[in-house]
Structure 1
Amino acid sequence: MSYEDVLLAVRRISKCVIQTPVITSTTVNKLTGREIFFKCENMQRTGSFKIRGALNSMISLKESQSLRGVTTHSSGNHGIAVAYAAKLNHLPCCVVLPKTTAEFKVKEIRSSGAEVVFCEPTQLARKEACEKVQKERDMVFIPPYDHLDVVAGQGTLGKEIMEQIDDLDAIIAPVSGGGLTAGITVGAKGIKENVKVYLAEPKGKDTEPSLRAGERLWPNPPQSLTSVADALTTQQLGQVTWPILKELAEKEVFTMTDEQIISAMKFTWERLKLVIEPAAAVGVAAILSDQLNRIPASVKRICIVLCGGNVDLDNLPW
């Protein structure tokens, strides 16, 4: 994938997504000793960055073939984005969700006119249920992360960050299957080649050993994590996203416990007045922890990607 793919995605989706704001905090700058910027994708349409990849993938498919409908599997945010993108493109949609998905996310998907099919909360169950929908209804699959069009769509976020923040040294973004971080890396480095991109993850994902070894060290079959950051439960990076991140991302990975994630989420609500979901708090947790010292002192200007704000208000983690 190249930066030109990101530019094509910008042309496809720019009328349907918003340029989300970047905010700063004097308090955070004093706590960290750095200049910290927060990219507020929690304010994006559908409540997360996911609309970028879903919409780019769907428009790309429409350009090349006739579609009878689309389907996907998701822990919530991608499903919300695909349902909304299908509504914009006047396409039938069916979303496969783990039966543990928060009810408000289910309602949000249905509000776009999509059908919901539930499955067991495992990667294999999601894949099998979605394949059944594809076969029975002749629908086209929109992957959550592991597809070049999805990655290119997320890459528009990296480009946007670099255009909004002058002289940026580094970006910290949460990672699950890697679609967001791979896209941000290509989009950001297409503007400034030496900008650093760091991954932030929940405990148990164990990405750093694989990045340092240059090979996939995760156990098979693929596992799902148990984490308060329910949007980051995919343990392995994808087959498409892995080579991009192996080549372009920094080898240091910030791994946060549930306690650190909850504390950072609460800090963001209270001090920054921003409603973010647990997944978006992982990068905040990284800069508030002593792990920030793993980034060289010369790296002063850092952007934290607040990936989403879809929160179950009836079940807050604190």
Structure 2
Amino acid sequence: MYVPTFDDVRNAQERIQPHIHRTPILTSSFINKLAGAELFFKCENFQKAGAFKVRGASNAVFGLDEEKAKLGVATHSSGNHALSLSYAAGRRGIPVTVVMPRTAPEAKKEAVRGYGGTIVECEPSTSSREAVFAEVVAKSGAEFVHPYNDHRVISGQATCSLELTEQVEGLNAVVAPIGGGGMVSGTCLTLSSIAPDVEIIAAEPKNADDAYRSFKAGHIIADDAPQTVADGLKVPLKDLTWHFVSNHVTDILTATEEEIIEAMRLIWQRMKIVMEPSSAVPLATILKNKEAFAGKRVGVIITGGNVDLNKLPWLPKA
């Protein structure tokens, strides 16, 4: 297992710069008052392909040598990594195949196809996803770019928190959502290298709290098919992301489905920005644990904006 270093982050930043946005920081005085803290939202919902995952995907795709690139890339993903890898592969002009759960949001499937990706569907469980994916790679010989347990991907994701530290001075904490742990691992990689005093808080749905339980137990606990509105956070930790989480994360906080939806709605209403349920989990945990953040300057990573507008969680069910 290769554990990336901060040199890998600097190299990734240079490699992906032509292919990504340097996303803005937004604030809300209303939400600050509500939270009792100064919150600085790093808006990866404005990123290319609508999610932070384009950073790691671009680093992996543009880091391939010509021989490997000819065979294309492949992955399994519920959405944002799938469309991000499709975006990056399209920019390089190489084929991409994605295994997606049949229940993945249609908006994300449409985006994958729009970027030229080929979708192979699987059942909505980790075991089905990995079994179907093994068949795809065996047939094509494509380079596997794991959604998060890949040093190239983590190094790319780490550029997000690197930008955040360049844009906002004096942070006391950074809060990011956790599913498989790619973003959190990248945040750990950057902050442990250049801002070791900044607390790293991972935010997770209570309905998919395997990372929280792993953190408390001291070893990986994996759920196969948790149910949560935060569809991007259903996957379990793996060995490389667990390395970062177990060594550098200060705490993991959880939020209920109702708290996540309310936080999402609050950001839509007050900040006028489109973001998906997974991105609302950090704010939900901050508002639930105000005493832990009181008076602090807190970076909050909004990870993506690829939401199905016909299925907003506060709309009446059809």
Q: Does 1:2 align with 2:5?
A: yes
Which of 31, 38, 52 is 2:34 aligned to? 31
Identity of aligned residues (%): 39
Equivalent in the alignment of 2:47: 44
* Structure 2 unmatched ranges of 5 or more: none
State the SS of the aligned residue for 2:62: helix
Contact 2:16 2:59 (C-alpha < 8 Å) held by counterparts: yes
Distance 1:59 1:183 in 2: 18
Bigger drift between 57-66 and 239-248 goes to 57-66
Equivalent in the alignment of 1:214: 218
TM-score by length of 1: 0.94
* Per-residue deviation, 1:16: 0.6
Moved over 6 A (4+): none
* Per-residue deviation, 1:243: 1.0
Distance 1:155 1:63 in 2: 25
Q: Amino acid of the residue matched to residue 161 of structure 1?
A: L
RMSD: 1.5
State the SS of the aligned residue for 2:194: coil
Distance 1:90 1:275 in 2: 30
Contact 1:159 1:190 (C-alpha < 8 Å) held by counterparts: no
* Per-residue deviation, 1:66: 4.7
Contact 1:23 1:38 (C-alpha < 8 Å) held by counterparts: yes
* Per-residue deviation, 1:302: 0.3
State the Cα deviation string for residues 47-81 of structure 1 (Å, max 9, x = none).
00000011111122237845311111110111000
State the Cα deviation string for residues 3-28 of structure 1 (Å, max 9, x = none).
11111111110111011000111111
Q: Amino acid of the residue matched to residue 312 of structure 1?
A: D
Equivalent in the alignment of 1:230: 231
Equivalent in the alignment of 1:261: 260
Distance 2:104 2:213 in 1: 30
Residues 70 and 170 (structure 1), Cα distance of their counterparts in 2 relative to 1, 3 Å cut = same
Contact 1:161 1:188 (C-alpha < 8 Å) held by counterparts: no
Contact 1:46 1:80 (C-alpha < 8 Å) held by counterparts: yes
* Structure 1 unmatched ranges of 5 or more: none
State the SS of the aligned residue for 1:100: coil
Q: Amino acid of the residue matched to residue 58 of structure 2?
A: L
State the Cα deviation string for residues 222-272 of structure 1 (Å, max 9, x = none).
4221000001011x311111011111111x211011100000000000011
Contact 2:68 2:143 (C-alpha < 8 Å) held by counterparts: no
Residues 286 and 64 (structure 1), Cα distance of their counterparts in 2 relative to 1, 3 Å cut = farther
Q: Amino acid of the residue matched to residue 243 of structure 2?
A: P
Bigger drift between 52-61 and 76-85 goes to 52-61
State the SS of the aligned residue for 1:113: coil
Contact 2:69 2:94 (C-alpha < 8 Å) held by counterparts: no
* Per-residue deviation, 1:304: 0.8
TM-score by length of 2: 0.94
State the SS of the aligned residue for 2:124: coil
Contact 2:89 2:95 (C-alpha < 8 Å) held by counterparts: yes
Q: Amino acid of the residue matched to residue 310 of structure 1?
A: N
